[in-house]
Amino acid sequence: MDKALLLYSGGLDTSVMIKWIQENLSMDVATLTLNVGNSDLVAIEEKARMLGADPVFVHDAKDEFAEKFIAKSIMANGSYEGYPLSTALARPLMAEKAVKYAQKIGAKYIVHGSTGRGNDQVRFEVSIRALDPSMQVLVPVREWNMMRKDEVEYAKTHGIPVKLDGKYSIDENIWGRSVEGPDLEDIGKGVPEDVYEWVVPPWKANAEHTLKIAFDGGIPSEIDGEKMKLADLIVFLNTLAGSSGIGLIDHMENRVVGLKSHEVYECPAATVITHAHRYLESLILNRNEAEVKMNMDWQFAKFVYGGLWHDPVMNAVNAAEAEFNRDISGEIKIRMSHGIMYIEGAWGNSFLYSKDLINYSSMAFDQRASKGFIDIYGNATVHSHNRNPKMVKEVQGSSVEF
């Protein structure tokens, strides 16, 4: 009998799939559950076994997620039109693990629980095929005709515990919490307050915090002088910054499949780290680097959002980002209060910013050079007006009011 490896979350959809694949496709179902956030691996493992999955794999991947995926996004200020790429970063990791476990057990099929309307199907399937073109992907939600009540019915008749999800569709990992659902679809209304779980809404957030984040080569490495593993540092900041109201994102998004969707993200750690990283960059990188990096950051976000983590173009993007981050070391002191971050100081050995150069009474910058600079800098613009002197004529011809 053929084997299928199911990416199993423990929720209703993927629980139904275990039975459905056994029944309809006559395959043995193995499950793989990855923890990149706060999953209860023990309970999920037990449930999978109870539903007849075999083997049942569970795998804590938080550190790998932080060090191989989130770290690259921090270096690139990962932001797709304002979205910090949380779910988008986890999908390629899941695809890698799924391929690895499927190959291990000789499964020819990988099954995922995403729908046919979203981005995640794209991310899973492109990565899986890129890693192993012989692997086939099954997507029951795209094929079957079950509505929610059919699923519940099916679950009941097949002995699957039904714990109904809330009214929102949610994906979580340590880099962020993504929320969508019918209550967000009426754009004539604001975001309902019950969406928020990680972040105390700013108008209620009374906890003010000030801390120092140290970066080493673009990656946050210490909080207030204490070295932390990246995953731990992120989890710590999620709590702290969330309590100060930091990290709410109300986002109108262009999905890969060409739909616009209204999403809410809660990303306290991502918000703080990116703000500090950008500020440090602004002190260190010169304007040539800043302009080229701005474009590279966009490429990074566009490809990752679009499910192309495993495209070879990412080797070049990441190589450039690594260079841009080589000197991004230093410390940023940041105050978080009612949803806003204030920079309270910055220290480092590689700052391009120099108090001595900028000071008005400084002699390090000879302002008499400016005349020659401007004359030549402006040449291309000025000469262009010889080409078309209309504008000057308009100025000359216009009436002057006193």
Active site residues: 13, 91, 120, 169
State in angstroms the smallest separation of the CB of 346 from a copy of itself.
Answer: 5
In angstroms, the Cα distances linking 36 to 252, 283, 299 are: 25, 33, 25
Any known ligand binding at 7?
yes
Any known ligand binding at 119?
yes
Sign of the dihedral through C-alpha 331, 211, 77, 308: positive
State in angstroms the smallest separation of the CB of 221 from a copy of itself.
Answer: 19
Q: Which of 31, 11, 12 is nearest to 22 (CA)?
A: 31
Residue whose CB is less far from a copy of itself, 20 or 324? 324
| The length of the chain, given as a count of residues | 402
Q: Can you read off the two tokens belonging to residue 311? A: 């495209």
Residue whose CB is less far from a copy of itself, 120 or 172? 120
Note the helical H segments in 39-85.
41-50, 62-64, 71-75
Residue whose CB is less far from a copy of itself, 161 or 378? 378
Any known ligand binding at 12?
yes
- Maximal CA-CA distance, the chain: 92
State in angstroms the smallest separation of the CB of 378 from a copy of itself.
Answer: 4
Any known ligand binding at 26?
no
Residue whose CB is less far from a copy of itself, 159 or 217? 217
Q: What are phi and psi of 267, to 5 degrees?
A: -140, 65
Residue 60's SS3 state is: strand
Any known ligand binding at 253?
yes
State in angstroms the smallest separation of the CB of 159 from a copy of itself.
Answer: 26
Q: Can you read off the two tokens belonging to residue 10? A: 């423990």
CA angle (141 as vertex; 139, 145 as ends), nearest 5: 130
> CA-to-CA distance for 269 and 242, rounded, in angstroms?
8
State in angstroms the smallest separation of the CB of 398 from a copy of itself.
Answer: 6
Half-sphere exposure of 307 (CA within 13 A, CB side): 17
Q: Which of 50, 38, 53 is nearest to 8 (CA)?
A: 53
Q: Tokens 């209309």 appear where?
A: 390
Residue whose CB is less far from a copy of itself, 37 or 330? 330
Any known ligand binding at 15?
yes
State in angstroms the smallest separation of the CB of 217 from a copy of itself.
Answer: 12
Phi-psi region of 59 (alpha: psi -120 to 50; beta: other; left: phi over 0): beta
Residue 166's SS3 state is: coil
Residue whose CB is less far from a copy of itself, 40 or 208? 208
Any known ligand binding at 114?
no
8 Å CB contact between 213 and 272: yes
> CA-to-CA distance for 347 and 360, rounded, in angstroms?
22
Any known ligand binding at 113?
yes
Which residue numbers belong to the known binding site? 7-15, 83, 113, 115, 119-120, 123, 169, 178, 253, 265
Which residue numbers belong to the known binding site for L-aspartate? 115, 119-120
Which residue numbers belong to the known binding site for L-citrulline? 83, 119, 123, 169, 178, 253, 265
